[in-house]
Amino acid sequence: MQNLFEDILVAAEGPVCLVTVNRPKVLNALNARVIEELCTLFTRLRSDENIRAVVLTGAGERAFVAGADIAAMAQLAPQEAEAFAARGHHVGELITTLPQPVLAAVNGFALGGGLELALACDVIFASRSAKLGQPEVNIGVMPGFGGTQRLIRRVGLGHASRLVLGGDPIAAEEAAAIGLVDVLCDPASLLAEATALAKKIATRAPLAVAASKKALHASFELPLAEANRLEQRLFGQLFATADQREGMAAFLAKRPSQFSGK
């Protein structure tokens, strides 16, 4: 996959796409250009049948994404700030609705918009040296890219309130203990462990993975009965796919499956 961006790096290793926010001098802070590049990339990935899983990380060892670019935000008027937040929300929505799973590899600071970016991902891997938090109240604002909503869905009202209202970051060990981080890794093995899961996902039936992801996210958006009906419909629809026939035939024949995404 050719890299056509200025502030993100995109590399494909077979069916896995590695996306790196590449502004290490400012701890990979999110500005308007990074957000637009992420929007463009994740829009393109929706229709890329060659990519079956994505790993998202930050350049260098110090930060995943240390937040939004404060220098760029400081002089925004209220309407401009709301529009900026809308683009940040759009990135999160593109990630959560992407058919392919997106795994965050948090390699340092994931603060503010950086944590919100990770929260949009399906699984969060983190280095044991990482720090995660929503410190916006310390600079007179609040989370604006979905943090108040996605954080509470991950860790509950109490922990979310402590992080958002207190504004202090927490260590990766504590983040794992409250369910904010899914997999803790040694710094040297972080990317390898996240990529290993991405490669495993890439061997699974793509349509089944996409349907499963859709149903999982629906659990936060729909009443239980309606979400169960969605699962039922998606389950039935998969029986019209070549991958269902291949997967079950391979299982019965005790051979590896060869999925086509059809």
Alpha-carbon distances, residue 243 vs 47, 126, 206, 207 (angstroms): 18, 33, 8, 8
* Catalytic entry in 36, 116, 193, 246: 116
DSSP 8-state assignment for residue 30: B
Report residue 39 as tokens: 């929007």
State the CB neighbour count (10 A cutoff) for residue 157: 9
Residue 82 known to be catalytic = no
Gap between the Cα atoms of 258 and 248, Å rounded: 11
Alpha-carbon gap, residue 19 to 51, rounded angstroms: 12
Q: Which of 49, 136, 221, 226 is catalytic?
A: 136
Specify whether the CB–CB gap between 121 and 73 falls below 8 A: no
Continuous segment of H or E residues that includes residue 105? strand 102-106
Query: Strands of 170-171's sheet, edge to edge?
Result: 63-65, 109-111, 131-133, 170-171
Residue 79 in tokens: 């309407």
Q: Is there a catalytic annotation at residue 36?
A: no
The Cβ-side half-sphere exposure at 210, using a 13 Å CA radius, reads 19
Are 19 and 8 spatial neighbours (Cβ–Cβ below 8 Å)?
Answer: yes
Decide: 56 and 103 in contact? Cβ < 8 Å: yes
Q: Which residues participate in catalysis according to the annotation?
A: 116, 136
